[in-house]
Amino acid sequence: MLTAIESARAVLLARRADFDLDVDFVFIDENPSHITFLKEEIIKRGYRSQIDAGKIRFFSSTFEDTAPSVIADIRSKGRAHHSLFFLDQYGWSDVKMATVRRIMGQLANPEVILTFMVDSLVNLLHDKTSSLSALAAIDYKREDVRALLDIKDEFGLKGWKRAIQNTVYKHIQGCTGAEFYTPFFVHPPESHRDYWLIHLSKHHQAREEMGNVFWATNNTLEHFGGPGFDSLGFDPNVDVRQGMMDYVFDDDASSRTKKQLLEQIPDLLHAGWKSGSEMTKRSLFAARANDTPVIGALVDSQLAELRDAGEIVIFGQRRDKLGNVVGEIVRERADSYSWDDVIRQPREPRLFSIFNQAA
């Protein structure tokens, strides 16, 4: 994280000499020896001055005990509250959902990246003598997840993973208050045990950036579901194996996603136009960002294909020299679009338009 910030600072300074990327780091671990080792390593990397200046701080404590002061410190620095919480827990119950809910409720622009060891949860649920305190940490009761174990027994490992990805994540999103979330499985190359990586935020752009990271690291991530919009829904009355394909964020997944989007986007646009709504990239995609592995670049590519086929016209905002919006401009050759670009039908639709089929 420290080196990533240094790299970002160098890039930004090259663009604007007066830009100041002001970042504070807080490292928390309950084990004092872990904190001591980490501090020594950071000093070896040349960051002692930042430690002395209070820009890098260490706490030998639980996250639950330290979180209130961290939240208060973020709130004291202004109204934006831009913050990243990397919560790399050993199992799945060290971080209480109530604490994440507090982060989302008290900060304007937080992002939480939470690891979740699914195998540990399975083992706990199979252990009839285990305490319910761990389940309480994620606001769950044992009976709430019994059905998932039945699915695992009936449909196997992939059935279980799809069920937990497409069911438990909704529970986590609901009890944390995060408007946007991104849940996918991670396969560490050096381990046979998978874990769940959950990204929680309050803004669709934060979700978009996390999705870009997933596509950039396609060798270790997996999604269980379809390739297009609304792909994470789980119906307990339907065989979880139905229509399921391995989705590992590679070229094949990209091709399948584009094909699916080309089928879905016209229907979504037509439904929006029929209801009298002005359709933008934001209304088309952002509202569906949670239940899909799709990212904005994939949507852009299919919008461009529909535009080139004469099915749609895309309008961007025209601005004057002061940045004020003064009208619209047709995005005739653009291959990427802003969230507020407007999507309309041509004044003279094609005779055999796909929107005639959507009607």
3-state secondary structure of 242: coil
Pair 269, 317 in one domain: yes
Residue 270 belongs to a domain: yes
Asked if 21 contacts 8 with a C-beta cutoff of 8 angstroms, the reply is yes
Q: Are residues 206 and 100 in the same domain?
A: yes
Last residue of a domain, one of 249, 272, 304: 249
From the list 125, 248, 242, 111, the residue with the least C-alpha distance to 178 is 111
- Measured on CA atoms in the order 285, 183, 185, 4, is the torsion positive or negative? positive
Same domain, 216 and 103: yes
- Domain membership flag for residue 299: yes
For residue 4, give every residue at least 6 positions away whose Cβ sits within 8 Å of its Cβ, in sequence order, or none: none
Q: What is the pLDDT along the chain (359 residues), one digit of tens a residue?
A: 888 888 888 888 888 877 788 899 999 999 999 999 999 999 999 999 999 999 999 999 999 999 999 999 999 999 999 999 999 887 667 888 899 999 999 999 999 998 877 666 666 655 554 555 666 777 766 666 666 667 666 666 656 666 665 667 777 888 888 999 887 777 666 666 667 788 999 998 898 888 888 787 765 556 555 666 755 544 444 444 444 445 556 667 788 888 989 999 999 999 999 999 999 999 988 778 877 778 899 999 999 999 999 999 999 999 998 889 899 999 999 999 999 999 999 988 887 888 776 55
CA distance 269 to 267: 6
Greatest alpha-carbon span in the chain: 72
What's the pTM? 0.80
Which of 249, 274, 307 terminates a domain? The answer is 249
> Last residue of a domain, which of 249, 264, 295?
249
Do 100 and 192 belong together in one domain?
yes
Residue 278 exposed, middle or buried by CB count within 10 Å (0-12, 13-18, 19+): exposed
Task: Answer yes or no: do 112 and 199 share one domain.
Answer: yes
CA–CA distance, 142 with 200 (Å, rounded to integer) = 24
The parent domain of residue 309 ranges over 254-358
> Which tokens sit at 223?
């999604």
143 & 185 share domain: yes
Number of domains in the chain: 2
